[in-house]
Structure 1
Amino acid sequence: MTGTGAVDRRRLLQGAGALTAGALLGGLALPTTGRAALVEPRVYTRAEWAALPPTTSIRYLDRQPDHIVVHHTAGDNTTDYSLAAAFRHSRWIQDLHMANGWGDSGQQLTISRGGYVMEGRRHSLRAIYERQHVSGVQTANHNDHTIGIENEGLYMSVDTPAALFDALVRTCAWLCQTYQLDPYQAIVGHRDYVSTTVCPGDRLYARLPELRQRTAALIGA
């Protein structure tokens, strides 16, 4: 999501902003019967990774997001896949985003290279459980209806670790089932919104069709 010396922020796909928050995209309804019961990913809370309290108010919205935005953090491709490393990365992201004046982590969820899923912006996990939305700072001018997932690392020329991508599939399936979203329409890359960014990296972006397919298969859509 972040680059050296600059921070990229977003533009929504043509026409997407006209959708009612929480509406099913493309007029496609997911089946309500016959779907496998999902086991939601284990999401480590802000308390667990020792987040700082926000320095600005957090906007908790009585609506649902209609797009899932996939990012990469553009940080180091560490080979430390431990939970402790994942927690350090979440703190690094929060420090960076607060230094940018965003008051807290900008994204709602973060996935480490070891496949650990962590809550980002304050109240994000509560909002998902309540099928509502916390407005983040990860999709400029469209934060009120998009939920962002940061994926640790830089994926221009190297692929994601299998653990990270598998966790991303599970997380997208959980979100799509929670919010009744069509994964083929809802899952997008950061560069789909901002023409000047390379996020989420060429390699991860090229795998978005696979991500949509695997997500759809997991929820039986």
Structure 2
Amino acid sequence: MRLAKLALVAAALPLAVLTRWDAPARERPPEHRTPSTAAARPAAARPDVVSRAAWGADEKLVRERAPYVTRVSAVFVHHTSHPDAYDCADTPRIMRALQQQHVHRMGWDDVGYNYVVDRCGTVYAGRVDHAGRPLRGAHATGFNARSVGIAALGDFREGARVPRAMLASIAAVAAWQLRPGADPHGRVRLVSTNSDSRYPKGAAALLHTISGHRDGFETACPGEALYAKLPRLRDDVARRRW
């Protein structure tokens, strides 16, 4: 009997290595497991994604590997607050600077967003593993455990133009990442894990499956112009799903 108890304790030890991310403890063990083929099967085709190696991510900056998001029930759309009129050839450089900012200024373990899309519609891998599977981000305080963050590179204040190529690529990533059966026009019940969000820790929030960052946190993100495009974005995501 004593040996059996010791075996159980030894088996549980890997699950006790917790990260600093703000998910409920009950959700953490599954997040550390690699998704099975069936569970990971997407409901839409995978778009082209520029790998971290290709844009020059500094893997030495990564302080701690985050757990996997195994069930993407929601997508949060963000902006990065960069000037809108950049040259897309400069995006890899901007991505490297963004990683530095998120680690050194924000205090995060890596890039906070799972994916970043530039004005030309190119998708860049942010907080993902080498195969492109999302790791729990730092993009949506209180709601990171079951969501993916897609950031549009730019500011998008009221009256700004949101490029069609950018919107199309955001839709492609959202359609690919959302779990099978998720309704892009629907809502999802998420439980807040951090009182710094719009909802106290432990409170249930009914959010759009595809939400703007401001829906869960007190912020202007993703900018007035991009936020106004979310209904169109939901339509596009729905069209791309199997």
TM-score (norm 1): 0.73
The alignment covers a number of residue pairs equal to: 179
C-alpha distance in 2, partners of 1:121/1:215? 21
C-alpha distance in 1, partners of 2:130/2:230? 23
Task: Tell me: CA distance 1:62–1:70, structure 2 relative to 1, closer, same or farther (3 Å).
Answer: closer
Residue 86 of structure 1 aligns with which residue? 91
Deviations 1:64-120 (A, max 9, x none): 1211000000111124133xx221221121111011210210111110111110110
C-alpha distance in 2, partners of 1:136/1:39? 22
Aligned match for 2:123, one of 99, 117, 125: 117
C-alpha distance in 2, partners of 1:124/1:197? 31
- Kindly indicate whether the alpha-carbon contact (under 8 Å) linking 1:65 and 1:179 is maintained by their aligned counterparts in 2: no
What CA RMSD, in Å, does the superposition of the two structures yield over aligned residues? Answer: 2.4
SS of 2:155 mapped into structure 1: coil
Residue 70 of structure 1 aligns with which residue? 77
Residue 58 of structure 1 aligns with which residue? 65
Shift of 1:160: 1.2
Task: Tell me: CA distance 1:171–1:63, structure 2 relative to 1, closer, same or farther (3 Å).
Answer: closer
C-alpha distance in 2, partners of 1:137/1:118? 16
Deviations 1:108-162 (A, max 9, x none): 11101111101101417542xxxxx511111112211111001000111202112
- Kindly indicate whether the alpha-carbon contact (under 8 Å) linking 1:58 and 1:122 is maintained by their aligned counterparts in 2: no
- Kindly indicate whether the alpha-carbon contact (under 8 Å) linking 1:86 and 1:116 is maintained by their aligned counterparts in 2: no
C-alpha distance in 2, partners of 1:62/1:215? 20
Deviations 1:5-58 (A, max 9, x none): xxxxxxxxxxxx9xx99xxxxxxxxxxxxxxx8442100110000101143211
Residue 189 of structure 1 aligns with which residue? 212
Task: Tell me: CA distance 1:71–1:77, structure 2 relative to 1, closer, same or farther (3 Å).
Answer: same
Residue 47 of structure 1 aligns with which residue? 53
Aligned match for 1:201, one of 202, 223, 239: 223
Q: Which of 1 and 2 has higher RCO (CA within 8 Å, sep 6+)?
A: 1
Q: Which has the larger radius of gyration?
A: 2
SS of 2:75 mapped into structure 1: strand
Shift of 1:62: 6.5
- Kindly indicate whether the alpha-carbon contact (under 8 Å) linking 1:136 and 1:143 is maintained by their aligned counterparts in 2: yes
Unaligned runs of 5+ in 2: 1-23, 29-42, 187-208
Unaligned runs of 5+ in 1: 1-16, 22-36, 128-132
Task: Tell me: CA distance 1:57–1:179, structure 2 relative to 1, closer, same or farther (3 Å).
Answer: farther
C-alpha distance in 2, partners of 1:62/1:89? 26
C-alpha distance in 1, partners of 2:180/2:92? 27
- The answer to whether the aligner puts 1:144 opposite 2:148 as a matched pair is no
Residue 98 of structure 1 aligns with which residue? 103
- Kindly indicate whether the alpha-carbon contact (under 8 Å) linking 1:58 and 1:135 is maintained by their aligned counterparts in 2: no
C-alpha distance in 2, partners of 1:139/1:108? 11
| Residue correspondence of structure 1 range 1-12 to structure 2 within 5 A | none
C-alpha distance in 2, partners of 1:97/1:52? 12
Q: Percent identity?
A: 30
Residue 167 of structure 1 aligns with which residue? 169
